[in-house]
A and B are shown apart, each in its own frame.
Chain A
Amino acid sequence: MPSDAPPDWLHQRWVHSHEEDHGDEMVFRPASFPFPPSRGRRSIELGKDGTLRGARPGPTDRSEGAEGRWQIEGERLTLFSPGSQSPAQALVIVSASADRLVLRSASG
Protein backbone atom coordinates (compact mmCIF):
# COMPACT_ATOMS: atom_id res chain seq x y z
CA MET A 1 0.00 0.00 0.00
CA PRO A 2 1.45 3.43 -0.92
CA SER A 3 2.27 5.49 2.14
CA ASP A 4 1.53 8.98 0.85
CA ALA A 5 -1.97 8.86 -0.57
CA PRO A 6 -4.32 6.15 0.69
CA PRO A 7 -6.96 5.31 -1.93
CA ASP A 8 -10.46 6.67 -1.41
CA TRP A 9 -11.94 3.26 -0.75
CA LEU A 10 -9.90 2.98 2.42
CA HIS A 11 -12.08 5.68 3.96
CA GLN A 12 -15.07 3.57 4.83
CA ARG A 13 -16.33 1.55 7.77
CA TRP A 14 -14.51 -1.78 7.96
CA VAL A 15 -16.18 -4.55 9.94
CA HIS A 16 -14.28 -7.49 11.42
CA SER A 17 -15.14 -10.60 9.42
CA HIS A 18 -13.78 -12.83 12.18
CA GLU A 19 -14.96 -15.98 10.41
CA GLU A 20 -12.25 -15.30 7.80
CA ASP A 21 -9.39 -14.73 10.26
CA HIS A 22 -6.38 -16.93 9.73
CA GLY A 23 -3.66 -17.25 12.36
CA ASP A 24 -2.87 -13.72 13.56
CA GLU A 25 -4.36 -12.10 10.45
CA MET A 26 -7.64 -10.27 10.94
CA VAL A 27 -9.94 -9.81 7.96
CA PHE A 28 -12.15 -6.72 7.67
CA ARG A 29 -14.91 -6.21 5.11
CA PRO A 30 -17.00 -3.19 4.11
CA ALA A 31 -20.15 -2.72 6.23
CA SER A 32 -22.24 -3.76 3.21
CA PHE A 33 -20.74 -7.28 3.25
CA PRO A 34 -23.33 -10.02 3.90
CA PHE A 35 -22.06 -11.04 7.35
CA PRO A 36 -23.55 -14.07 9.07
CA PRO A 37 -24.95 -13.61 12.61
CA SER A 38 -22.40 -12.97 15.35
CA ARG A 39 -22.31 -12.30 19.10
CA GLY A 40 -20.65 -8.98 18.20
CA ARG A 41 -18.18 -7.46 15.77
CA ARG A 42 -15.50 -4.84 15.97
CA SER A 43 -15.43 -2.11 13.32
CA ILE A 44 -13.13 0.74 12.35
CA GLU A 45 -13.97 3.71 10.16
CA LEU A 46 -10.93 5.52 8.82
CA GLY A 47 -12.09 9.08 8.06
CA LYS A 48 -10.32 10.98 5.29
CA ASP A 49 -9.44 13.72 7.79
CA GLY A 50 -7.60 11.28 10.06
CA THR A 51 -10.46 10.74 12.50
CA LEU A 52 -11.15 7.22 13.65
CA ARG A 53 -14.54 5.91 14.64
CA GLY A 54 -14.20 2.56 16.35
CA ALA A 55 -16.87 0.23 17.69
CA ARG A 56 -16.72 -2.97 19.70
CA PRO A 57 -19.13 -5.24 21.50
CA GLY A 58 -19.83 -3.69 24.90
CA PRO A 59 -20.27 -5.42 28.29
CA THR A 60 -23.81 -6.61 27.47
CA ASP A 61 -23.17 -7.20 23.74
CA ARG A 62 -24.50 -3.94 22.37
CA SER A 63 -22.00 -2.20 20.14
CA GLU A 64 -20.13 0.66 21.81
CA GLY A 65 -18.30 3.34 19.88
CA ALA A 66 -15.33 5.59 20.50
CA GLU A 67 -13.49 8.18 18.46
CA GLY A 68 -9.79 8.66 17.96
CA ARG A 69 -7.24 9.20 15.20
CA TRP A 70 -5.46 6.99 12.71
CA GLN A 71 -2.25 7.26 10.76
CA ILE A 72 -0.57 5.27 8.00
CA GLU A 73 3.17 5.07 7.46
CA GLY A 74 4.22 2.57 4.84
CA GLU A 75 2.43 -0.62 5.70
CA ARG A 76 1.88 0.37 9.33
CA LEU A 77 -1.57 1.47 10.45
CA THR A 78 -1.59 3.09 13.88
CA LEU A 79 -4.77 3.77 15.83
CA PHE A 80 -4.80 6.40 18.59
CA SER A 81 -7.20 6.86 21.48
CA PRO A 82 -8.90 10.21 21.86
CA GLY A 83 -6.47 12.79 23.24
CA SER A 84 -3.60 10.34 23.45
CA GLN A 85 -0.25 10.71 21.70
CA SER A 86 0.79 7.11 22.33
CA PRO A 87 -0.40 4.51 19.86
CA ALA A 88 -3.23 2.41 21.25
CA GLN A 89 -2.84 -0.21 18.58
CA ALA A 90 -0.06 -0.72 16.09
CA LEU A 91 -1.12 -2.78 13.10
CA VAL A 92 0.44 -3.99 9.90
CA ILE A 93 -1.56 -3.92 6.66
CA VAL A 94 -1.06 -7.37 5.21
CA SER A 95 -3.18 -6.67 2.15
CA ALA A 96 -5.82 -4.17 1.14
CA SER A 97 -8.40 -3.86 -1.59
CA ALA A 98 -11.76 -2.13 -1.87
CA ASP A 99 -13.60 -5.14 -0.44
CA ARG A 100 -11.04 -6.77 1.85
CA LEU A 101 -8.60 -5.33 4.39
CA VAL A 102 -6.25 -7.73 6.17
CA LEU A 103 -4.48 -6.53 9.33
CA ARG A 104 -2.26 -8.07 11.94
CA SER A 105 -0.87 -6.75 15.19
CA ALA A 106 2.56 -5.12 14.69
CA SER A 107 3.82 -6.63 17.94
CA GLY A 108 2.51 -10.09 17.15
Chain B
Amino acid sequence: MQVHYRLLEQDPDFRLRQAELEQRVNERLMAGAAGLRGSVTTIPAVVHVVYRTSDEKVAAAQVKSQLAALNKDYRATNPDRSSVPPVWLGLVTDARVQFALATRDPTGKKTAGIVYVPTTLGSFPADDSVKAKATGGADGWPSDRYLNVWVCTLADGLLGYAQFPGGPPKTDGVVVLNRAFGTTGTATAPFDLGRSATHEIGHWLNLRHVWSDTEDCTGSDFVADTPTQQHPNYGQPRFPHVSCHNGPNGDMFMNYMDYVDDDAMFMFTAQQVVRMQASLDGPRSSIGK
Protein backbone atom coordinates (compact mmCIF):
# COMPACT_ATOMS: atom_id res chain seq x y z
CA MET B 1 0.00 0.00 0.00
CA GLN B 2 1.36 3.36 -1.03
CA VAL B 3 0.56 5.26 2.09
CA HIS B 4 0.86 8.93 1.26
CA TYR B 5 3.26 10.14 3.89
CA ARG B 6 3.11 13.60 5.14
CA LEU B 7 5.06 14.86 8.07
CA LEU B 8 2.76 15.37 11.00
CA GLU B 9 4.37 18.74 11.37
CA GLN B 10 2.25 21.01 9.17
CA ASP B 11 3.73 24.19 10.63
CA PRO B 12 5.30 26.07 7.65
CA ASP B 13 8.07 27.50 9.83
CA PHE B 14 8.98 24.01 10.95
CA ARG B 15 9.23 22.96 7.30
CA LEU B 16 11.40 25.96 6.51
CA ARG B 17 13.73 25.23 9.43
CA GLN B 18 13.95 21.61 8.35
CA ALA B 19 14.84 22.67 4.80
CA GLU B 20 17.56 24.97 6.13
CA LEU B 21 18.93 22.13 8.20
CA GLU B 22 19.01 19.81 5.18
CA GLN B 23 21.00 22.49 3.33
CA ARG B 24 23.47 22.62 6.22
CA VAL B 25 23.81 18.84 6.22
CA ASN B 26 24.48 18.79 2.48
CA GLU B 27 27.17 21.45 2.78
CA ARG B 28 28.78 19.41 5.54
CA LEU B 29 28.72 16.21 3.55
CA MET B 30 30.26 17.95 0.51
CA ALA B 31 32.95 19.72 2.49
CA GLY B 32 33.69 16.78 4.76
CA ALA B 33 33.60 19.32 7.58
CA ALA B 34 33.72 18.18 11.18
CA GLY B 35 31.33 20.76 12.62
CA LEU B 36 31.53 23.66 15.01
CA ARG B 37 31.34 21.79 18.29
CA GLY B 38 34.35 20.75 20.31
CA SER B 39 35.34 17.14 20.62
CA VAL B 40 32.32 15.97 22.62
CA THR B 41 29.03 17.74 23.40
CA THR B 42 27.38 17.07 26.75
CA ILE B 43 23.62 17.58 26.69
CA PRO B 44 21.73 18.28 29.93
CA ALA B 45 18.68 16.06 30.18
CA VAL B 46 15.63 16.23 32.39
CA VAL B 47 13.57 13.08 32.85
CA HIS B 48 9.88 13.65 33.60
CA VAL B 49 8.54 10.46 35.14
CA VAL B 50 4.75 10.61 34.81
CA TYR B 51 3.20 7.89 36.96
CA ARG B 52 -0.03 6.58 38.44
CA THR B 53 1.12 3.24 39.89
CA SER B 54 4.23 2.47 41.90
CA ASP B 55 5.59 0.37 39.01
CA GLU B 56 5.40 3.40 36.74
CA LYS B 57 7.44 5.50 39.17
CA VAL B 58 10.79 4.38 37.79
CA ALA B 59 13.58 4.62 40.32
CA ALA B 60 16.54 6.98 40.01
CA ALA B 61 18.79 3.95 39.50
CA GLN B 62 16.75 2.94 36.44
CA VAL B 63 16.98 6.48 35.05
CA LYS B 64 20.74 6.46 35.59
CA SER B 65 21.02 3.09 33.85
CA GLN B 66 19.40 4.73 30.81
CA LEU B 67 21.89 7.59 30.84
CA ALA B 68 24.74 5.09 31.08
CA ALA B 69 23.39 3.17 28.07
CA LEU B 70 23.04 6.37 26.03
CA ASN B 71 26.58 7.38 26.88
CA LYS B 72 27.88 4.10 25.51
CA ASP B 73 25.73 4.12 22.38
CA TYR B 74 26.45 7.76 21.48
CA ARG B 75 30.20 7.32 21.99
CA ALA B 76 30.36 3.96 20.15
CA THR B 77 31.70 2.32 23.30
CA ASN B 78 28.80 -0.15 23.55
CA PRO B 79 30.46 -3.57 23.85
CA ASP B 80 27.98 -5.20 21.42
CA ARG B 81 29.25 -3.03 18.54
CA SER B 82 31.57 -5.96 17.82
CA SER B 83 28.45 -7.79 16.55
CA VAL B 84 28.23 -5.44 13.55
CA PRO B 85 28.91 -7.52 10.42
CA PRO B 86 32.58 -7.13 9.38
CA VAL B 87 31.61 -5.38 6.13
CA TRP B 88 30.17 -2.45 8.13
CA LEU B 89 32.49 -2.37 11.14
CA GLY B 90 34.38 0.52 9.54
CA LEU B 91 31.20 2.62 9.52
CA VAL B 92 30.58 2.39 13.26
CA THR B 93 30.98 6.01 14.35
CA ASP B 94 31.26 7.90 17.61
CA ALA B 95 28.46 10.50 17.61
CA ARG B 96 30.53 12.70 19.96
CA VAL B 97 27.47 13.31 22.13
CA GLN B 98 26.92 12.42 25.75
CA PHE B 99 24.11 13.07 28.18
CA ALA B 100 24.03 14.15 31.81
CA LEU B 101 21.05 14.62 34.12
CA ALA B 102 20.52 18.35 34.64
CA THR B 103 22.05 19.72 37.84
CA ARG B 104 20.21 23.07 37.74
CA ASP B 105 16.52 23.60 36.99
CA PRO B 106 15.33 26.45 34.73
CA THR B 107 15.35 28.86 37.70
CA GLY B 108 18.91 27.91 38.66
CA LYS B 109 17.98 25.75 41.63
CA LYS B 110 19.84 22.50 42.27
CA THR B 111 18.11 19.45 40.87
CA ALA B 112 18.67 15.74 40.39
CA GLY B 113 17.38 16.06 36.83
CA ILE B 114 14.48 13.69 37.52
CA VAL B 115 10.98 15.07 38.04
CA TYR B 116 8.22 12.82 39.39
CA VAL B 117 4.76 13.89 38.29
CA PRO B 118 1.65 11.98 39.39
CA THR B 119 -1.20 11.55 36.94
CA THR B 120 -4.69 10.05 37.02
CA LEU B 121 -4.37 8.72 33.49
CA GLY B 122 -3.76 5.02 32.85
CA SER B 123 -1.88 5.64 29.59
CA PHE B 124 -1.00 8.35 27.09
CA PRO B 125 -1.59 8.19 23.34
CA ALA B 126 1.19 9.49 21.05
CA ASP B 127 -0.44 12.92 20.84
CA ASP B 128 1.93 15.01 23.04
CA SER B 129 -0.56 14.93 25.93
CA VAL B 130 2.15 13.63 28.30
CA LYS B 131 4.09 16.85 27.59
CA ALA B 132 1.69 19.23 29.36
CA LYS B 133 0.35 19.44 32.89
CA ALA B 134 -2.98 20.61 31.49
CA THR B 135 -3.48 17.26 29.76
CA GLY B 136 -2.40 15.07 32.65
CA GLY B 137 1.32 15.05 31.91
CA ALA B 138 4.29 17.23 32.82
CA ASP B 139 5.34 20.55 31.30
CA GLY B 140 8.73 20.43 29.60
CA TRP B 141 11.71 22.52 30.61
CA PRO B 142 13.01 25.10 28.06
CA SER B 143 14.01 22.99 25.08
CA ASP B 144 16.78 25.37 24.05
CA ARG B 145 18.66 24.33 27.21
CA TYR B 146 17.47 20.82 28.06
CA LEU B 147 16.67 17.55 26.37
CA ASN B 148 13.22 16.70 27.73
CA VAL B 149 12.60 12.99 28.23
CA TRP B 150 9.10 11.95 29.24
CA VAL B 151 8.75 8.46 30.70
CA CYS B 152 5.24 7.07 31.00
CA THR B 153 2.86 4.30 30.04
CA LEU B 154 2.05 4.74 26.37
CA ALA B 155 -1.16 3.53 24.73
CA ASP B 156 -1.17 0.74 22.16
CA GLY B 157 2.12 -0.72 23.38
CA LEU B 158 4.15 1.99 21.67
CA LEU B 159 7.79 2.07 22.82
CA GLY B 160 8.35 5.75 22.16
CA TYR B 161 8.08 8.75 19.84
CA ALA B 162 10.10 11.85 19.12
CA GLN B 163 10.16 15.27 17.46
CA PHE B 164 12.66 16.47 14.86
CA PRO B 165 14.78 19.61 15.44
CA GLY B 166 13.10 22.92 14.59
CA GLY B 167 9.65 21.92 15.84
CA PRO B 168 7.39 23.55 18.42
CA PRO B 169 9.46 24.18 21.61
CA LYS B 170 6.72 23.13 24.03
CA THR B 171 6.63 19.57 22.68
CA ASP B 172 10.34 19.25 21.90
CA GLY B 173 11.92 16.10 23.31
CA VAL B 174 11.37 12.35 23.37
CA VAL B 175 8.83 10.07 25.00
CA VAL B 176 9.76 6.55 26.09
CA LEU B 177 7.65 3.76 27.53
CA ASN B 178 8.57 3.19 31.20
CA ARG B 179 9.01 -0.57 30.73
CA ALA B 180 11.48 0.09 27.89
CA PHE B 181 13.48 2.74 29.75
CA GLY B 182 16.94 1.97 31.08
CA THR B 183 18.42 -1.44 31.76
CA THR B 184 17.29 -2.16 35.34
CA GLY B 185 14.11 -2.05 37.43
CA THR B 186 10.98 -2.40 35.30
CA ALA B 187 12.87 -2.51 31.98
CA THR B 188 11.60 -5.65 30.23
CA ALA B 189 13.15 -7.78 27.48
CA PRO B 190 13.46 -7.54 24.55
CA PHE B 191 13.52 -3.77 25.16
CA ASP B 192 15.70 -3.65 28.25
CA LEU B 193 19.00 -2.27 26.94
CA GLY B 194 17.92 1.37 26.71
CA ARG B 195 17.81 1.40 22.91
CA SER B 196 14.32 2.92 22.66
CA ALA B 197 15.80 6.15 24.03
CA THR B 198 18.84 5.78 21.75
CA HIS B 199 16.48 5.53 18.76
CA GLU B 200 14.19 8.41 19.79
CA ILE B 201 17.10 10.76 20.55
CA GLY B 202 18.42 9.86 17.09
CA HIS B 203 15.24 11.45 15.70
CA TRP B 204 15.64 14.38 18.09
CA LEU B 205 19.04 14.87 16.44
CA ASN B 206 17.42 14.70 12.98
CA LEU B 207 17.97 11.07 11.99
CA ARG B 208 15.50 9.28 9.73
CA HIS B 209 14.56 5.63 9.69
CA VAL B 210 16.85 3.44 7.61
CA TRP B 211 13.86 2.31 5.51
CA SER B 212 13.10 5.99 4.77
CA ASP B 213 9.43 5.73 5.79
CA THR B 214 8.53 4.53 2.31
CA GLU B 215 8.01 0.90 1.42
CA ASP B 216 8.74 0.96 -2.31
CA CYS B 217 12.52 1.47 -2.30
CA THR B 218 12.19 5.06 -3.62
CA GLY B 219 12.83 6.91 -0.35
CA SER B 220 16.00 8.15 1.26
CA ASP B 221 17.13 8.54 4.84
CA PHE B 222 19.39 11.35 3.54
CA VAL B 223 22.60 9.51 4.34
CA ALA B 224 24.57 7.65 1.70
CA ASP B 225 26.25 5.10 3.94
CA THR B 226 23.13 3.15 4.88
CA PRO B 227 21.77 0.82 2.18
CA THR B 228 18.34 1.47 0.66
CA GLN B 229 15.90 -0.69 2.61
CA GLN B 230 12.28 -1.57 1.96
CA HIS B 231 10.62 -2.19 5.33
CA PRO B 232 11.36 -1.82 9.00
CA ASN B 233 13.01 -4.93 10.43
CA TYR B 234 11.75 -6.38 13.69
CA GLY B 235 13.02 -8.87 16.24
CA GLN B 236 16.50 -10.26 15.75
CA PRO B 237 17.10 -10.60 12.00
CA ARG B 238 19.86 -12.78 10.66
CA PHE B 239 22.52 -11.22 8.41
CA PRO B 240 22.13 -10.72 5.52
CA HIS B 241 18.53 -9.62 5.02
CA VAL B 242 18.23 -8.45 1.42
CA SER B 243 15.58 -5.97 0.14
CA CYS B 244 15.50 -3.26 -2.55
CA HIS B 245 18.25 -5.05 -4.54
CA ASN B 246 20.68 -4.19 -1.75
CA GLY B 247 22.50 -7.52 -1.81
CA PRO B 248 24.80 -9.12 -0.98
CA ASN B 249 24.92 -7.34 2.38
CA GLY B 250 21.29 -6.28 2.52
CA ASP B 251 19.63 -4.08 5.13
CA MET B 252 21.69 -2.43 7.86
CA PHE B 253 19.14 -3.69 10.39
CA MET B 254 21.65 -3.40 13.23
CA ASN B 255 21.48 0.40 12.91
CA TYR B 256 19.85 2.20 15.83
CA MET B 257 17.37 3.70 13.36
CA ASP B 258 15.75 0.40 12.42
CA TYR B 259 12.99 -1.31 14.49
CA VAL B 260 14.83 -4.40 15.74
CA ASP B 261 15.02 -5.56 19.37
CA ASP B 262 17.37 -3.79 21.77
CA ASP B 263 19.91 -6.61 21.62
CA ALA B 264 20.05 -6.46 17.80
CA MET B 265 20.95 -2.76 17.21
CA PHE B 266 24.50 -1.57 17.67
CA MET B 267 25.53 1.41 15.53
CA PHE B 268 25.29 4.85 13.95
CA THR B 269 27.15 5.47 10.68
CA ALA B 270 29.57 8.28 9.79
CA GLN B 271 26.97 10.20 7.79
CA GLN B 272 24.34 9.82 10.46
CA VAL B 273 26.82 11.48 12.81
CA VAL B 274 27.26 14.33 10.29
CA ARG B 275 23.48 14.83 10.38
CA MET B 276 23.39 14.83 14.19
CA GLN B 277 26.31 17.24 14.49
CA ALA B 278 24.75 19.54 11.87
CA SER B 279 21.58 19.72 13.98
CA LEU B 280 23.71 20.56 17.03
CA ASP B 281 25.35 23.39 15.08
CA GLY B 282 21.98 24.54 13.68
CA PRO B 283 18.59 24.39 15.39
CA ARG B 284 20.08 22.84 18.55
CA SER B 285 23.08 25.17 18.79
CA SER B 286 21.99 26.58 22.16
CA ILE B 287 21.90 23.24 23.94
CA GLY B 288 24.81 21.58 25.71
CA LYS B 289 28.48 22.33 25.43
**Number of residues in A with C-beta < 8 Å to the partner?**
32
Asked if A40 and B232 sit within 8 Å, CB to CB, the answer is: yes
Chain A residues positioned under 8 Å from B3 (CB to CB): 54-56, 64-66, 81
Residues of B near A61 (CB, < 8 A) are 126, 158-162, 199-200, 203
Whether A37 pairs with B179 at a CB distance below 8 angstroms is yes
Taken together as a complex, chains A and B put the C-alpha atoms of A103 and B234 apart, in Å, by 17
The chain B residues found within 8 Å of chain A, CB to CB, are 1-8, 126, 156-164, 177, 179-180, 188, 191, 196, 199-200, 203, 208-209, 213, 215, 232, 234-235, 259
Q: Which of A39, A56, A62, A89 has the most CB of B within 10 A?
A: A39
Alpha-carbon distance between A10 and B159 when the two chains are bound, in angstroms:
28
The distance in angstroms between the C-alpha atoms of A44 and B2, with both chains bound, is: 12
Q: Give the residue among A58, A60, A63, A88 with the most B Cβ atoms within 10 A.
A: A60
Which residues of A are found within 8 Å of B203, using beta-carbon distances? 59-61
- A-side residues, CB < 8 A to B, are 18-19, 21, 35-41, 44, 52, 54-66, 68, 79, 81-82, 84, 88-89
Tell me the complex Cα distance, A61–B209, Å.
Answer: 9
- For B180, the chain A residues whose CB sits under 8 A away are 37
- Residues of chain A lying within 8 A (CB to CB) of residue B126: 61-63
Given A54-B1, A68-B1, A81-B2, also A60-B161 (CB < 8 A)? yes
Q: Can you name 7 A-B residue pairings with CB atoms under 8 Å?
A: A37-B157, A38-B259, A54-B1, A57-B232, A58-B8, A61-B126, A61-B158
Q: Specify which of A19, A62, A66, A88 lies most central, judged by the most chain B CB atoms within 10 Å of its CB.
A: A62
Q: How far is the CA of A98 from the CA of B179 in the complex (A)?
A: 31
Q: Evaluate whether A84 and B1 lie within 8 angstroms (CB atoms) in the complex, with A18-B235, A59-B164 already known.
A: no
**Whole-angstrom distance between the alpha carbons of A88 and B199 in the complex?**
29
In the bound assembly, the distance between CA atoms of A64 and B200 in angstroms comes to: 17
A62 to B164 Cα, complex, angstroms:
12
Chain A positions within 8 Å of B8 at CB level: 58, 60, 62, 64
Partner of A35, one of B157, B196, B215: B157
Once bound together, how far apart are the Cα atoms of A59 and B207, in whole Å?
9
- The answer, among A18, A19, A52, A57, for a CB contact under 8 Å with B1, is A52
Contact A59 B213 (CB under 8 A): yes
Distance A36 CA – B3 CA, assembled complex (angstroms): 25
Contact partners of A82 in chain B: CB under 8 A: 4
